[in-house]
Amino acid sequence: MPSSADLRVSNLFSFNSHVALVTGGASGLGEMAAQGLVQNGARVIIASRKEEELKKCTDQLNKLGPGTCEYIVADLKDKAGCDHLAAEVKKRIDRLTVLVNNSGATWGAPLEDFPEVGWDKAMSLNVKAIFYCRLSPKLRLVKNFQLLC
């Protein structure tokens, strides 16, 4: 006997009532995640350091709807940057249902030429930012929080 649940793809993968934060959301995998969320109905906030890229990406994503996109300029290289992002998110929304914790960087040098400063920069963004964004009290206190990645 068939289930009475609505199992249409449009229902199973709808983000109509979701609010998402995508760090590193102005390019690469973050931009693709934001696009998928916007195209499936979510309200999406993308965050990155480069405002020009954020503006361009936001404009493009808002044309794809039915969801919407907005941005916050944030440098997540340290705890203060993560706290700033969390405070700005909290000012705009009363609930966050999706966090795509995607910020990351590489140094761009061959392994044998990789300087310590490059390693420190990559570790700060690739490890500390994910840790601090995930554990930020301002984001944890937002209602209905779900961690995607």
- Other CB atoms within a 10 A radius of the CB of residue 114 amount to 14
Interval 21-55: pLDDT, tens: 999 999 999 999 999 999 999 999 999 999 999 99
Mean pLDDT of 60-79: 94
Check residue 95 and give its pLDDT. 84
Prior bond of 66 cis (ω within 30°): yes
C-alpha span between 91 and 55 (Å, rounded): 19
Confidence of residue 141 (pLDDT cuts 50, 70, 90): very low
**Is the overall model pTM greater than 0.85, yes or no?**
no
143 vs 36: CA distance, rounded Å: 22
Q: What would the two tokens of residue 111 be?
A: 């392994």
> What are the pLDDT digits (tens) for 98-112?
889 888 877 777 878
- Full set of structural domains in the chain with CATH: 14-140 (3.40.50.720)
Q: Is 77 helix (H, G, I), strand (E, B) or coil?
A: coil
Query: What pLDDT is stored for residue 130 in this prediction?
Result: 80
Confidence of residue 136 (pLDDT cuts 50, 70, 90): low
Measure the CA–CA gap between 54 and 99, rounded to whole angstroms.
Answer: 17
- C-alpha distance from residue 84 to each of 23, 28, 54, 88 (Å): 13, 23, 17, 6
Higher per-residue pLDDT: 66 or 7: 66
Element (H, E) at 119: helix 116-123
Give yes or no for residue 1 having a pLDDT over 70. no
Distance of CA 78 to the CA centre of its chain: 16
Smallest CA-to-CA distance from 24 within 120, 123, 111, 133 is with 133
